[in-house]
Amino acid sequence: MNCYMFPGQPLTHNAQLPDDSDFSEIAELTLLRTGVNLHDFTRQGEDGSVSAMLQIYGVAMSLYQARRFRLQGVRPDLIAEHSMGIYPALAVSGSISEGDALELTWRVGCCMNSMKKSREYALGCVVGLTLEPVLSIAENNGVYLANLNTSRHFLLSGERRNMEAAETEALADGAFSVKLFPSDAPLHTPLMAEIEGEMRGVFSDYRYLEPNLPLLDHINQDFLAATEITEFMIRELELPVYWEKSFIALKKAGVGKFFEVGVGDSLKKYNRWIENEASRQ
């Protein structure tokens, strides 16, 4: 069985973009539905942020790569998503259109952008520690676990000053590395409840069809039904991403081949780390 894996937001925009008819269609659709020009990484209008534009770039590249995989004869039996990868995953599963996935991503990004007007937020990648000390560091510094990618690869999220304190403690506790990244909002934490009402209004503007391929959610490792999608979209903003559990669930479901459909290969790396650790036990 084949699985398409849709990663979350990329950290950078690659100026070297594909040059074919499929990408041209995606780029035109992106400009039409969001105002973002993928070629020069600008946007018509004043709203939005670099983070929101990176989200759009990531979704557009996922939609493009899904088209290319299908042209190569690689078709999924299951679909999995990580963080902001839910938006292209919904489109490729047939639940929403490509245009709606792009527009929805932009509207969500703009909502999150509004949170940075009052506070400065950051994400922090912690590598090398196990879950228990990471949770202790998060609690000590008023931040939250945002991603559990492998047993030793985590993402924390919260206010920037608290994240800096958590970074210092994690390094002192023996983390191999800790890297902080600016963020418009404290994604995948309870702090996102601040904009829940606004986000619920955005999600309710769209009609979600029943996915025509099983789409695994990254919270409970269940397959999403159309009636569950709006609520999942709210919950996934406020709760952590559990990729390790998702990968294990996909393997148990019979997936033999994983295809990362988006920018980079982070999910492939997580999968190798998870499998390598399992083989040592």
User: Phi and psi at residue 86, in whole multiples of 5°?
Assistant: -60, -30
pLDDT at 46: 59
pLDDT at 235: 96
Q: Residue 98, CB half-sphere, CA atoms under 13 Å: how many?
A: 21
Q: In which band, very low, low, confident or very high, does the pLDDT at 14 lie, cut at 50, 70 and 90?
A: confident
Alpha carbon separation from 216 to 59, 81, 121, 126, 140 (Å, rounded): 18, 7, 29, 25, 33
Q: Which residues contact 205 (CB under 8 A, 6 or more apart)?
A: none
Residue 196 pLDDT > 80:
yes
Domain assignments of the chain as residue spans, ordered by start: 2-115+189-280, 118-183
Query: What letter would DSSP give residue 250?
Result: H
Of 30-39, 111-120, 162-171, 181-190, the poorest mean pLDDT is in: 111-120
Asked if residue 126 lies in contact with residue 155, where contact means CB atoms within 8 angstroms, the answer is yes
Residue 47 pLDDT > 80:
no
Q: In which band, very low, low, confident or very high, does the pLDDT at 16 lie, cut at 50, 70 and 90?
A: confident
pLDDT at 48: 66
3-state secondary structure of 179: strand
pLDDT at 42: 85
User: Phi and psi at residue 231, in whole multiples of 5°?
Assistant: -65, -40
Residue 109 pLDDT > 80:
yes
Rg of the chain, C-alpha, whole Å: 18
Angle at 211 between CA 37 and CA 219, to 5 degrees: 85
Residue 6 pLDDT > 70:
yes
Residue 139 pLDDT > 80:
yes
The string over 230-264, giving b where at least 16 C-beta atoms fall within 10 Å of a residue's C-beta and e elsewhere, is bebbbebbbbbbbbbebbebbbebebeebbbbbbb
Residue with tokens 């759009």: 56
Superfamily the domain 2-115+189-280 falls into: Malonyl-Coenzyme A Acyl Carrier Protein, domain 2 (3.40.366.10)
Q: Between 225 and 114, whose confidence is greater?
A: 225
pLDDT (average), residues 158-185 = 97
**Tens of pLDDT along 52-64?**
999 999 999 999 9
CATH class of this structure's domain 118-183: alpha beta
pLDDT above 70 coverage of the chain, percent: 98
